Amino acid sequence: MGIVFVTVAFFGLLALGMPVGFSIGVAGMIGIFDMGPRFLSMAPDRVFAGLDLFPFLAMPFFILAGEIMNRSGITQGLVRLADALVGWMRGGMAHSNMVASVMFAGITGSATADAAAFGNTLVPAMQKGGYTRAYACAVTAAGSIIGPTIPPSTLAIIYGSIMGVSIAGLFAAGILPGLLICAICMGVIALHAKRKNLPEGKGRLQLRNVTQALREGFLAALLPIFILGSILGGWATPTEAAAVAVAYALFVGGVIYRALSWRDLYEVALRTTRITGVIFLIIASASILGWWMTFNRIPQAIASGLLTVSDNPQVIIGLILLLLLVIGLVMDINATLIILAPVLAPLTLQIGMEPGHAGIMIILALNISLMTPPVGACLFVLASVTGEKVEGITRELWPFILAEVAVLLLIAFWPDLTLFIPRLLGL
């Protein structure tokens, strides 16, 4: 009976529009009441235990570094570099958007930050260049999920922390999938070039333009290289690298570019606090719900249920992906990850998947839901920033969604693609 009450409470509150963190928390407390009074006094300890993980400190630091880089205009150097590299192609501004997403991903690790930044800058520029606003938003949304795939990924930090998987290993495992998403989306743009009559590019590829853009954007491009190099090289933990990234962003934006005011710093700190607060509220609430699920052996029941369908590992992987993609349509990805990771990760181990491979597969499946209706966060960010309707963005986005689902399937069923770099680095 308790399972029924918790399920009805959770989905009922979501349907009424209550924030997902509160919906999870209330549902978890209902479950604890059902467990008995002696468990109620332990609930506060579980809330703090869910947050008391040192690697979680990396999240606000990476978010803050990205906000500083974006506010100070440093990231525009990355956009100019991307434009110099691929802007000469037909549909060049769309290709530049995608390449810039890869570069920006190495700074923030956030899809919504990418969508907000490029929605304010690249979407208007693409409109002036002859693209429809809906198509420009669709390209931006498709590229935005590269952010939480390529390191430093906040989802990788959350997954690695709660599942005890190497965060450095997850970071390394996310590099090739992120680059593959960029490549296949650029392929979709190339197919659209003639069918949609996308604008011509800017002349030819010229080494002089690339050299000049690299010189202008060198300081911005250096940050993701430093972050990844220090973590993957074993010179710094993700948390240490994140703290240094903040110091670097402050120095470049405030001292070298002189583009940060005290007002900017206040607004950047406020926005970082809000984003981090929402994520941590979900994590804390989910720790209560996860405790209740463990007590009632729900993870084991779900795993057993999937195994009764088939004992074929390929079929199990397909069912896991289907479950994640469907739930991602209606739930926040942070909450989904925190609730389902302890359920699905043991199942992936049971069918012989490597922890890093399973982690990236789960993360990428949830990332795709950031751009799928009805609750895709990146869709709503772009709609609010640009004024374009979600329906219009979605119509132009479907080819990119299908292409990225194809990447997900390739990653899920070809482990070497994900594990090549971690094995190369000994992670």
**Pair of tokens at residue 324:** 């994640």
The DSSP symbol for 256 reads I
Rounded CA-CA distance 98/179 in Å is 10
Q: What is the pLDDT of residue 401?
A: 92
Task: Report the distance separating Cα 404 and Cα 183, nearest Å.
Answer: 10
Q: Which of 248, 198, 230, 174 is nearest to 86 (CA)?
A: 198
Contacts of 258 (CB under 8 A, 6+ apart): none
* Close Cβ partners of 330 (under 8 Å, ≥ 6 residues apart): 14, 374, 375
| Predicted pLDDT at 375 | 65
Hey, what are 40's tokens? Answer: 């109620």
Which residue stretches of 296-389 are H helix? 298-309, 313-328, 333-350, 355-368, 377-386
Q: What is the pLDDT of residue 404?
A: 93
If we measure between CA atoms, which residue out of 212, 192, 114 comes closest to residue 154? 114
Q: What is residue 68's predicted lDDT score, i.e. its pLDDT? A: 82
Q: Please give the pLDDT value at position 363.
A: 92
Sign of CA dihedral 397, 71, 103, 203: positive
Q: How far is CA 369 from the centre of its chain?
A: 10
Task: Give the pLDDT confidence score for residue 303 in this predicted structure.
Answer: 67
pTM exceeds 0.85 for this model: no
CA distance 256 to 350: 52
Residues of the chain with pLDDT under 50: none
pLDDT value at position 284?
77
Q: Give the single-character DSSP code of 235.
A: S
Residue 180: predicted pLDDT: 94
